[in-house]
A and B are shown apart, each in its own frame.
Chain A
């Protein structure tokens, strides 16, 4: 069972500014002891397939170069070894097609990227809430 007090998260984010902010929000949340950042879907898959201590939860942006978040999620949900890891998605705007695809794949949550630093802190809070509710 996942211990919500010492979560290990991997975040796929190609934008340096957003990566900084989101990392800070997870650091300040208190439940995340290890925060790893990757720059696209391909890096995310590489990390997941070669990890010795693997993340408890995944957060990915959608629009990223090389491999998008959606493509990476498709691979993750195809791989029985990776499927059990809960996945969350965040993006600047809601594209109903993407949102529907994420739901169909089994993504646990879909966030819109906030317009203020404070609201970024809601993302780790909601993730912890969802993971706790699932237990």
Chain B
């Protein structure tokens, strides 16, 4: 009796198992009919075999087939059931030899595959990994997209990064080289600055002594006109000022920290510095409202100081110098500038000379007419270049000059 019952139960469970198998078989056939399955993998004595269907949806198939990135579909345990042309080319293996193999075997570090598989359960997993196919290692971007629950498979897209990596490496190498060069340049500039200081110190040391000890010479032993003591002294003073000016010129291209500079403040300081000269020459200095520019205050002070001192120096004998500083906004091919103008009523310059005056050591006058080393305007030009701007001049002989400083406006 008991034996019969056991027997019946066994038969019932066998029937149930068969029913399940039959249902599964029907489902597969239905799926194939509907075109939602385009390949079957069956294990035949341990060897996986792929069965594909001609009736599969061609549009999607061709898309994947011709896709410029490598595309694979794999079973949940990583068996490759489909491989497109691009991946076959990338791997340099015919597609038919790739399908049926395990994707894991193409990973350089096989643990990465397990990671990707785990992450893909949540949807899509992306990594930059190294593949190793037939001993050839190359970087790729690989993505696993779970196709569940529609299909129990994973879609894999592989992008070759070999070229991109090479570009990145070249870029990085170039950047490092550039940084090295910049550092070298900084070091060179620093040693050059020190060199200038040492040279100026060593040149000025004997000059200072010449000037000091001249005062111990008896100048009264000579006739007042062309007194050699006086000539020696004025020459030494000139040489000394030349050394000072050359140091200033050398430092006018030094880029200190650029910061917002209120030119109103700079002009007030310059006016104070030149107070004696302004008073002695009976000069009038009118300063309009000026903008705030980006620059270094020391260099700005030097530019305005040079230009205003020049305007006083090159004034007409019989007319007191009148100098006006104002500004306008200039527009040149969609670039905007603060154009700061320094107008004077001085002797002016011939048009033919205008392009020469910013050249170092270029002078338009005899030294006994007007003093100077011919460095001042060269310094101004260098400083303006240093401020990404420029200096311009307009002049009518006998009618005065207008020097214009153009500062780029960054946020307009």
Contact = CB atoms under 8 A, between A and B. Distances in A.
Contact of A91 (B194, B201, B215): B201
A17 B193 CA distance: 29
A92 B208 contact: yes
Interface stretch (A23-31, A73-81, A112-120): A112-120
Contacts of B208: 92, 113, 115
- A contact patch SS: loop
Interface residues of A, number: 14
Contact of A95 (B197, B211, B212, B240): B197
Given A97-B194, A116-B215, A17 B200 contact: no
Interface string B209-231: 10110010000000000000000
Contact of B197 (A21, A97, A113): A97
A93 interface: yes
A83 interface: no
Interface in B205-261: 205, 208-209, 211-212, 215, 240
A122 interface: no
Interface in A35-64: 63
Given A95-B197, A97-B197, A116 B212 contact: yes
B235 to A, nearest CB: 14
Given A17-B209, A115-B211, A117-B215, A93 B204 contact: yes
A97 B205 CA distance: 19
B195 to A, nearest CB: 11
Nearest to A95: B197
A113 B204 CA distance: 10
Nearest to B206: A92
A92 B201 contact: yes
Contacts of A91: 201
A21 B215 CA distance: 14
Interface string A103-135: 000000000011111000000000000000000
B212 A115 contact: yes
A117 B200 contact: no
A93 B212 contact: no
B250 to A, nearest CB: 13
Contacts of B197: 93, 95, 97
A95 B201 contact: yes
Contacts of A92: 201, 204-205, 208
Given A116-B215, A117-B215, A93 B200 contact: yes
A116 B237 CA distance: 12
B150 to A, nearest CB: 74
* Pairs of residues from A and B, 3 with the lowest C-beta to C-beta distance, nearest first: A95-B197, A93-B201, A92-B205
Given A95-B194, A116-B215, 9 more contacts: A91-B201, A92-B205, A93-B204, A95-B197, A97-B193, A97-B194, A115-B211, A115-B240, A116-B212
14 contacts: A15-B205, A21-B212, A92-B204, A92-B205, A92-B208, A93-B204, A97-B194, A113-B208, A114-B212, A115-B208, A115-B212, A115-B240, A116-B211, A117-B212
